[in-house]
Structure 1
Amino acid sequence: MSNILLILYSNIIPLFILITIGIMLKKQYQFDVKVFSKLLFSVFIPVLVFIELYRVDILIDILVKVLLFHLLFYASLISIVMLFVKVSRIEKSKVPTIFNSVMFYNTGNYGLPLILVIFPSNSSALAVQVIIVVIQALLPFTVGVVAINSTKKSKRSVVMDLLKLPVVYAVILGIISVSFDIPLPQPLIMSLNYISDGFIAMALMTLGLQLGDINWKFHLKQVMTINVIRLLISPVIAVIILFVLEIDGVMAQVLIISSALPTALNVMLLDIEYNNEPEFSSQIVLTSTVMSILTMTAVVYFVQIVY
């Protein structure tokens, strides 16, 4: 019971306070959610990705194991999503949202604080989670963008749209800065940190703006199925992969916990930006976050007993 209350108090309630502020702002002032989305995609997200890359200082051994795990993990999730889409005969426009909702999860403002609470002062646990955060910061705005546009545009148009994204150049600059150990001026670092720190509040209020603007036609069966895959099936797959790779200890615990996190807010932001089922993705993000109160508690309890 204490674990449930801790997750609720430390992780869930702060998120919903900011979401509620967004809903209230929409009702009171009728803000245009597209303006907030543009600001996130043009400024906050590129800066966040750059800062995450710039801060990374990880041992190669840990990096290789985490990357190998995720390669197998994502391949398994893609197979499950493809099977679900085929069996359920999902509308074409919803397929990218389903794909992104299962593949991209809330490692930053949910997963990272949770890992710090569970593994206080454990540098190995933090190192693993930082790698996961960086992976999940990069993929939605590269692979996720391609997934959304692939159903609507030619391959050339998809590539051109990808190259227009500021986050692509943030990735390149981040990798160059880390690879060549390029120091940045302190005033610039401070400015970038201010922007990066504001991402969570900005993104959650944008979710609130979107929720305050939709006509709630709830896609119950599809939403719940996606949540089951994201919150329950995903950690089971993670356990199997870790067994095959013979990874255990703290690394295994962190990878399993992260694999069970709720759908990332970035999924909804992508759908708003590219006008692709924003109501559907908002419902997934909201319900998976609420359901994770129970599922994450169970997963944390499991890894602490088994590993």
Structure 2
Amino acid sequence: MEVFLFVLFNNISPIFLIIVLGYMLATKFELDINSLSKVNFYIFIPSLIFVKIYETKIDTRLLKVLLFATLFLVALALISIIIAKLRGHSIARESAFKNAIMFYNSGNFSLPLISLVFGVTAFAAYAISVQIMVLLVQTLITNTLGFYNAGRGQMDYKENLKTIFSMPTVYAIALALIFKAVPYNPTESFLWPAILYMKDGMIPIALLMLGIQLTATKFNFKDLDVYIASFTRLLIGPILAYLLILLLEIDSNTAQVLFISSSVPTAVSTALIAVEFNNEPDFASQVVLTTTLLSTISLTGIIYLAQYIF
């Protein structure tokens, strides 16, 4: 019950409060979500990614975690492609379906959750480091392959690649990796405070945008794909994670972190990418909302199961 209430009040409620505010604003004022999307993708997201990648210390003990996070994404991609083919999806729906399953809320949702679960143990600090490695992989792939997936439904291969490389996020990733490799500390630059200010704007503007998008979303409660994607993200995902953990022979404590974090809802960024590329934005928004709501129930069971099987 403690875990259920924590997830409900500390993870779900703040997210939905900001989403509702965005929804209310959009019903009262005429807000241009495309302009907000440009602000988010060209300013806030690159700033957040640059800071996250630059500040993340990669411990050699965590290399197996990086391997797990990468293989887990591959497994999720394969299962989503198989389901999409069986369902006879169009390229646009398949791309949105794949993003909804592959990319999960590994940052502002998972980090507080992992802090709660391991907060009173000697393993707490390392557990957070494990989750940050997962966040790093998710961030890199979401803002490259996630863009490519979304673009597939609307443009050809060359045009898609051109669009991806026009996004500043790609260069923020490269720049952060360069600064990690050279003997220069960008935190001493006069630009660093500005980057931090912009970084902090990403999460609230993303959630407000989701609320605004919902005012234009045509909800289809009979869309079976929404429920299949939600089921796959919240329940099939942990099963795949469990099999990978056994395959890689990951230690018990690390396994618990990876198993729990593999079970969190679809990332809000998948809906934002869908809006930016006009690729099934209604479907993407519904999956984000559905998985976030259902995770209050599924995560409680997953956390207890993690402590039992590892």
Identity of aligned residues (%): 35
Describe how 1:144-223 pairs up with structure 2 within 5 A.
Answer: 144-184=146-186, 185=188, 187-223=190-226
Q: Among residues 256, 260, 264, which one is paired with 2:259 in the alignment?
A: 256
Moved more, 154-163 or 49-58: 154-163
Do the aligned residues in 1 keep the contact of 2:154 with 2:279 (CA within 8 Å)? no
> How far apart are 1:14 and its partner, in Å?
0.4
* Cα distance per residue 1:28-59 (max 9 Å; x no partner): 10201111111100001000100001111121
Query: Is 219-228 or 231-240 further displaced after alignment?
Result: 219-228
Deviation at 1:67, TM superposition (A): 2.1
The answer to whether structure 1 residue 268 and structure 2 residue 267 are counterparts is no
> What residue identity is the alignment partner of 1:168?
V
Q: Is the 8 A contact 1:219 1:280 kept in 2?
A: no
Q: Secondary structure at the match of 2:107?
A: helix
Find out whether 1:226 has 2:244 as its counterpart.
Answer: no
Structure 1 distance, partners of 2:252, 2:196, is 33
Alpha-carbon distance in 2 for matches of 1:214, 1:236:
31
Q: Could you tell me how far 1:250 is from its partner in structure 2?
A: 2.0
Q: Deviations over 1:130-178 (max 9, x none)?
A: 1111212221221011112224333222221111010011001100111
TM (normalized to structure 2)?
0.95
| Residues 1:301 and 2:304 aligned together | yes
Partner of 1:95: 94
Distance apart, 1:188 and its partner CA: 2.6
Question: Which of 119, 138, 142 is residue 140 of structure 2 equivalent to?
Answer: 138
Q: CA deviation at 1:248?
A: 2.1
Structure 1 residue ranges without an equivalent (≥5): none
User: How many Å apart are 1:251 and its aligned residue?
Assistant: 1.2
Name the TM-score, length of structure 1 as normaliser.
0.96
The reply to whether residue 111 of structure 1 matches residue 138 of structure 2 is no
3-state SS of 1:31 partner: coil
Partner of 2:67: 68
1:293 alignment partner AA: T
User: Structure 2 CA distance, aligned partners of 1:159 and 1:250?
Assistant: 40
Deviations 1:82-130 (A, max 9, x none): 2111111123321110000000000111011111111227221111111
Size of the alignment, in residue pairs?
306
The two structures, once aligned, show a CA RMSD in angstroms of: 1.4
Say if 1:66 and 1:219 are closer, same or farther in 2 by CA, change over 3 A: farther
Say which SS state the counterpart of residue 276 (structure 1) adopts: coil
- Give 1:69-88 correspondences, 5 Å limit: 69-88=68-87
CA distance in structure 1 between the partners assigned to 2:222 and 2:42 by the alignment: 31
Question: 1:105 and 1:263 mapped to 2: Cα distance?
Answer: 4
Structure 2, unaligned stretches of length 5 or more? none
- Please state if 1:15 is matched with 2:15: yes
Equivalent residue letter for 1:115: I
Instruction: Tell me which residue corresponds to 1:126.
Output: 128
- Secondary structure of 1:34's match? helix
Separation (CA, whole Å) in 2 of partners of 1:182 and 1:217 = 52
SS in 1 for 2:220: coil
1:139 counterpart SS class = helix
